[in-house]
Amino acid sequence: MHEMALAEELLKISDEAAASAGAEEVLRVRVGVGWLLQVERQSLAFYLEALRRDYPRLEHAVFELDEEAVRVRCRVCGEETEQAGWGFACGACGDRDVEVVAGDRLEVRDMEVRTDDV
Amino acid sequence: MCETQGEGHQHRHLEVHRHAMEANDQVAARLRRGFAARGILVLNLISAPGSGKTALLERTLEQLRPLRVSVLVGDVETERDAERLRRCGVPVAQIVTAGTCHLEAGMVESHLAEVDQRELDVLIVENVGNLVCPSGFDLGEDLKVVLVSTTEGEDKPLKYPAIFHRAELALVTKADLAPHLDFDREELLRNIQAVHPGMEVLEVSAKTGLGLDLWLDWIRAKVEEKQSLHV
């Protein structure tokens, strides 16, 4: 259910980025959905659709929701490895002393916009 | 930034890389600085509805004296939990989220004025009963504590791993009921460790007082740690 709050933030960020670039219309927004956040992509897509009425620039935008896997950096051997499930451990040396370096964010990565000629 | 020419307009590619949680995280960072400046330990208690957060808090508040404790309690509706906790004689502010399934940092910030931070060692935030949504929202706390009751089933950590991953401590509540249930204690402990290797676990009962001393000592140790950083 927190997908509603997250969708609202994604729309705000996309709209701000478009506005500050002087864009008239947003065509495409690429969103990275970190696995660690346990965001239900279908639900997020539903709320993006429902809430974007408040953002005229985003009316026809296509939202691409790309799942991002969790990656950890090992504090012992320094290797960075992708994780397939919970109970994170270094994929190289197996140590549990790891730090999450990817997959913990829900972010607007990049977007395609249309600007009118000046 | 690449640009392609169209008819009367152009298409542009924008790199954005902004996190949906950034607005919440900014407020949380501000809260955390404020708590640090005052040496206040902040705990964010998260569990499913009915796992016994409020009952455990009632016992906790009575026994933590002389530590000065306040509670912010989040619920979707009603002031019922705040009324229960106020009877323990500590300042309590109720955050009614009116439908929102989790607390956000801004809600904590806007209710902070209701507790006197100058006279405080511990602030306990009782989150909205929900194991999914609250886990991603930083409230400026020092530590998250997840509660799971013996009546909920051993597979809770596997079904709701994010909160077990993020929390520092797991409290197994209603431990007094275990003998009356088909509760596999070892299985629950195994599942917790599968999601969060090395996670601290305490088994408690608000009803009989079982394990409460360990939980109170855990809080006292964290308070001491926090206050030693605050000179």
- State whether A114 and B20 contact (CB < 8 Å): no
Angle at B99 between CA B52 and CA B45, to 5 degrees: 30
Between CA B104 and CA B95 the distance in angstroms is 10
Percent of chain A with pLDDT over 70: 97
Distance from CA of A111 to the nearest CA of B (A): 5
CB interface of B with A, residues 21-40, below 8 Å = 21-24
Nearest to B90 by CA among B67, B108, B62, B70: B70
Between CA A100 and CA A112 the distance in angstroms is 29
ipTM of the complex: 0.91
Mean of pLDDT over chain A: 94
Among chain B residues, the shortest Cα distance to A112 is held by B13
Nearest to A113 by CA among B18, B2, B19: B2
Check residue B5 and give its pLDDT. 56
Q: Which residues of B touch A12 (CB under 8 A)?
A: 23
User: Cα–chain-centroid distance for residue B229?
Assistant: 22
Between CA B129 and CA B135 the distance in angstroms is 11
Mean of pLDDT over chain B: 93
- B156/A contact by beta carbon, under 8 A: no
Distance from CA of B144 to the nearest CA of A (A): 16
CB A85 within 8 A of CB A56: no
The rounded average pLDDT for each run of 10 residues, N- to C-terminus, in chain B (231 residues) is 63 96 96 96 96 94 94 90 90 90 94 89 95 92 98 93 95 96 95 95 97 98 92 63
Q: Which two tokens stand for residue A17?
A: 């980025």
Q: Which two tokens stand for residue A81?
A: 């490895």
Q: Which two tokens stand for residue A118?
A: 């000046």
Nearest to B142 by CA among B38, B21, B58, B57: B38
Check residue B224 and give its pLDDT. 96
List, in order, residues 6 or more apart from A95 with CB less than 8 Å away: A74, A75, A76, A77, A89
Check residue A118 and give its pLDDT. 58
Q: Which residues of A touch B137 (CB under 8 A)?
A: 2
Cis peptide before B66 (omega within 30 of 0): yes
Check residue B231 and give its pLDDT. 63
Nearest to B9 among A1, A110, A114 (CB): A114
Strands B9-19 vs B3-5: parallel, antiparallel or unpaired: antiparallel
Strands A98-102 vs A71-74: parallel, antiparallel or unpaired: antiparallel
- B2/A contact by beta carbon, under 8 A: no
CB atoms within 10 A of CB A58: 22
End-to-end CA distance of chain B: 49
Q: What is the pLDDT of residues A50-72, one digit of tens each?
A: 999 999 999 999 999 999 999 99
Nearest to B21 among A17, A87, A106 (CB): A106
Between CA A29 and CA B150 the distance in angstroms is 44
- For chain A, the structural domain boundaries read 3-69+104-114
- State whether A117 and B16 contact (CB < 8 Å): no
Given the candidates 3.90.1150.10, 3.40.50.300, 3.30.300.30, 3.20.20.70, the CATH classification of the domain at B40-229 is 3.40.50.300
Check residue A117 and give its pLDDT. 67
Q: Which residues of A touch B14 (CB under 8 A)?
A: 17-18, 21, 23, 110-113
Residue among A16, A31, A108 with most chain B CBs within 10 A, to mutate: A108
Check residue A9 and give its pLDDT. 96
Q: Which two tokens stand for residue A14?
A: 């996309």
| Residue found by looking up tokens 């809260």 in the block | B31
Given the candidates 3.30.2320.50, 3.40.50.2300, 3.90.600.10, 3.10.150.10, the CATH classification of the domain at A3-69+104-114 is 3.30.2320.50
List, in order, residues 6 or more apart from A29 with CB less than 8 Å away: A10, A14, A58, A61, A62, A63, A64, A108, A111
Check residue B79 and give its pLDDT. 86
Q: Say whether A71 sits in a helix, a strand or coil.
A: strand
- For chain B, the structural domain boundaries read 40-229
Handedness of CA B59, B198, A100, A8 (dihedral sign): negative
Q: What is the pLDDT of residues B132-160, one digit of tens each?
A: 889 889 999 999 999 999 999 899 999 99
B174: left (phi over 0), alpha (psi -120 to 50) or beta: left
- State whether A24 and B9 contact (CB < 8 Å): yes
Between CA A67 and CA A109 the distance in angstroms is 12
CB atoms within 10 A of CB B105: 23
- State whether A106 and B11 contact (CB < 8 Å): no
Residue among B3, B7, B14, B17 with most chain A CBs within 10 A, to mutate: B14
Q: Which two tokens stand for residue A89?
A: 């451990």
Between CA B153 and CA B82 the distance in angstroms is 28
Nearest to A107 among B14, B20, B104 (CB): B20
Report which DSSP code applies to A62.
Answer: E
A31-46 core/surface letters (b: 16 or more CB in 10 A; e: else) = bbbbbbbbbeeeebee
